[in-house]
Amino acid sequence: MATSSETLVTTAGNAQADSDYMHYVEGVGHVPRDIYKHVLSDPLGDLPRYSIHIVIQHFLIFITFITLAATGLPLHFGDLFWAPIILAPLGGPDSARIIHRISAGIMIVAALYHFITIAIGTYSKLKKHKFNLLHSQIPTLKDLNDIKHDIRYFLGKEQYRPKMGKFMYKQKLHYLAIIWGTFVMIVAGSTLLFPEAMAKFWPNPEFAQDLARLMHADEAIMASAVVVFWHWSNVHLVPGRFPLQWTFLTGRITREHQIEEHFLEYIDKLKDDPKEKEYLISVLKEKGYKTEGGEV
């Protein structure tokens, strides 16, 4: 029976020219798509992914979102049996309203902080000619191809997942949904909180109040469902990340995760990180793959 190392060498030899399996990196050699199965990973993260600004923004959005949902939903559904149970520890409806409005203000500040950070960062990269569309949250045709490729992979028609960059298609969809949801919540919430001021912007203020009340509640329910059943499950509860992925606190991603789901981002890091390049070469040699320095 062939050993694991022998199997890897055979697979590598058969797939050397297969661009879906191998990716050539200058100074390293051909990197196999499934090398993530053989690297060491620290659960707290091995490689930098997010700046301290993004970590702070995510934390603020996370805390305020939970607070807004915990105060807003029971206020809206105050006639249901469970609403008073949730509002009681918060000091009742009046206190919950105050907490809700303060949290909304903090979320708006966090959103502005995020867009200012993105704008400054993008401008700086454009000025230095370092902006890369494929590294941004802007959807591209590649994302559409990645979706089709991924569906085929999960149906067993592709051997490997597509090579994706820093932000895969699921993250881009979620990001766009957050932008839209935040916009809806801010406009609807402002219409309800400042009816006279916002009436100047609406052709039919009375209709706008009814619409805002409906949109504010429905968007809150949908956002809560998406966060619980999509975001948390995809980010924290999937195999390999359970029970928690620490990137949102550390700003760092595990080596295994980055290679598996953000392969192209990892390849870019290899070009700029000599230590990581040296580490990967050692792993490739250990598993019997050819490297630029020859085969062990």
Quick: pLDDT tens for 145-183. 999 999 999 999 988 889 999 999 999 999 999 999 999
Residue reference for tokens 């390049």: 277
Query: What integer is the mean pLDDT of 108-116?
Result: 96
Query: How far is residue 288's CA from residue 282's CA, in Å, rounded to a whole number?
Result: 10
3-state secondary structure of 71: helix
What pLDDT is stored for residue 140 in this prediction? 93
Cα distance from N-terminal residue to C-terminal residue, the chain: 22
Query: What integer is the mean pLDDT of 185-205?
Result: 93
Task: At 144, give phi and psi (nearest 5°).
Answer: -65, -40
What's the mean pLDDT when you consider all of the chain? Answer: 89
What pLDDT is stored for residue 173 in this prediction? 92
Kindly report the pTM of this predicted structure.
0.84
Q: How confident is the model at residue 7 (pLDDT cuts 50, 70, 90)?
A: very low
Query: How far is residue 78's CA from residue 105's CA, in Å, rounded to a whole number?
Result: 23
Query: What integer is the mean pLDDT of 50-55?
Result: 94
Answer whether 262's CB lies under 8 Å from 253's CB.
yes
Above 50 in pLDDT, residue 21? yes
Above 80 in pLDDT, residue 95? yes
Per the structure block, which two tokens stand in for 112?
Answer: 């502005």
What pLDDT is stored for residue 243 in this prediction? 84
Q: Is the dihedral of CA 240, 12, 162, 140 positive or negative?
A: positive
Q: How confident is the model at residue 293 (pLDDT cuts 50, 70, 90)?
A: low
Answer whether 270's CB lies under 8 Å from 253's CB.
no
Query: How far is residue 83's CA from residue 228's CA, in Å, rounded to a whole number?
Result: 19
What pLDDT is stored for residue 10 in this prediction? 45
Classify residue 289 as left (phi > 0), alpha (psi -120 to 50) or beta.
beta
Query: What integer is the mean pLDDT of 90-118?
Result: 96
